[in-house]
Amino acid sequence: MERRVEARAGWGAMALVLALTAAACSGDDTAATAADDASGPATTTTAGEAAPPEDDEGPAPDGATGGDLVAGTDYTVLGALRAVPSDLDFELVHTADVASVLDLPGVDAPSDHDADSIREAARLISGQTGEAAPVHVHLAGVPELAVTDTSPDAEQRYADIRADLGWTVAELDAYVTASGPSDAITVVVGDIGGADLTDSNLTEADDGVFTAGDGEDFTTDVGNRTPARPLGRPRHLVLERNMLAMALDRDLAARWAADDVTPIAELDAWARVADALDRHDVISAVLVAIDGPTDASSTMLADLWKVAEMQAIREPFDVVGIGWSAVDGEPAVHVAYHFLDPAAAERQVPTIADFFHSGVSHITRIPSEDRWDVVEVSLAGHIVEVELRLTGEDAHTFADALIQMGDLPFLYIDG
């Protein structure tokens, strides 16, 4: 039976599957109650001056119901989180509606299966060119689908990937990847159907799981390497619910296909952060779980830690997200922290506001004010939000770099 991953037309997602590598903090999500967030948003436009809470925020978003991952006007971060499981304690999530990113002014969608145009579009939206797209899409650089490949044999690599997996990034419109210490799963929507998989080198089992390669899961086989599997490890793919999922763990792929997983969206902290980003209509986002305080002795630049200590958040937050959007055609960044306790969130508003107004990265030593203007810092129950307008060179990637490096302001230390 033909099954097709449906999304709006376009070459939206060359960037997507690219986040199967994982590096971030780990942690368990701590559930929050709706009553905890009954207080409304307090706002500040200058460092540390929070207004009293106002409108009732209402209950936490329901992560168990609603739409899944889609591209276009119905795309949401919360919907993307409904498409990936929480079962393996995934720590890092990347998602984007790349089709919509490519519709923005100044961004040229790539031509059909043309390696050069795919590469240039990917470099633009990921900030690897002199000019950047209004919305940044994080590319984690998975070599299997290296869309920024500049080698002379790039065209052949794309052909080999298509033969191995049945599709390439040129077919994709939106994606979400959840990564953890032992595995990762990527879910995509786009112009991919069952025939694309059956006509490839994939083998299909009775339960509908397609596999590229042979051998045990996670086992390296250097004699069985391909451009899509540079370590020779098997890849497992399934088509269900108008989505395609790919994982290294066959059992995970099968359970995802059977809908026998608990979505990340059902974890309150993740759902609240996603909802905060969705209120700003972001079309690209990175969310990270924070597993406890940072140890100063483990930082790359421990000698600068005393300076960093003065800027660090001092109470626990368990999930933080960054979302990118375009406001009146100009790039905007939205940051949302989920604190374990609403009172702690309120106490940390001045520290967060101070960093985004005048802080300095303790790794790059770049001042915040050289990269963005702060529009607003707001408080709503467990959530502290920051809205930024980008101004400086490489500003579109700066916040992403901070969170990937575990830099200020995306860490906390014991008070």
Q: Could you read off the pLDDT of 153-176 as tens digits, one per residue? A: 777 777 888 888 888 777 778 889
CA distances from 292 to 92, 229, 289 (A): 15, 34, 9
- pLDDT over 60 (residue 57): no
Where helices occur in 214-264 by DSSP H, the ranges are 250-257
Distance CA(263)–CA(267), nearest Å, equals: 8
**Cβ–Cβ < 8 Å for 126, 136:** yes
Cis amide leading into 409 (omega within 30): yes
- Kindly state the average pLDDT of the residues 4-26: 33
Write down the pLDDT at residue 38. 35
Least confident of 329-333, 337-341, 346-350: 329-333
What pTM value is reported for the model?
0.81
Highest mean pLDDT, choosing among 86-95, 189-198, 221-230, 274-283: 274-283
Q: What is the mean pLDDT of the chain?
A: 76
Write down the pLDDT at residue 358. 87
- pLDDT over 50 (residue 146): no
Strands (E), 112-270: 172-179, 184-190, 192-193, 203-204, 210-212, 235-240, 243-247
- Kindly state the average pLDDT of the residues 267-287: 95
Question: Please, is 363 exposed, middle or buried when counting C-beta atoms within 10 Å of its C-beta (0-12, 13-18, 19+)?
Answer: middle
- Kindly state the average pLDDT of the residues 1-22: 34
- pLDDT over 90 (residue 251): yes
Q: How is residue 108 annotated by DSSP?
A: P
Q: What is the pLDDT of residues 290-300, one digit of tens each?
A: 988 776 555 54
Position of tokens 């052909």? 159
- Domain extents in the chain: 4-14+107-257
Least confident of 5-19, 73-87, 366-380: 5-19
Write down the pLDDT at residue 75. 95
List all residues 6 or more positions away from 118 whose beta carbon is below 8 Å from its beta carbon: 11, 14, 110, 111, 147, 158, 169, 170
Q: What is the pLDDT of residues 342-396, one digit of tens each?
A: 999 999 999 999 989 988 887 778 888 888 899 999 999 999 999 998 876 666 6
Distance CA(92)–CA(271), nearest Å, equals: 14
Write down the pLDDT at residue 71. 92
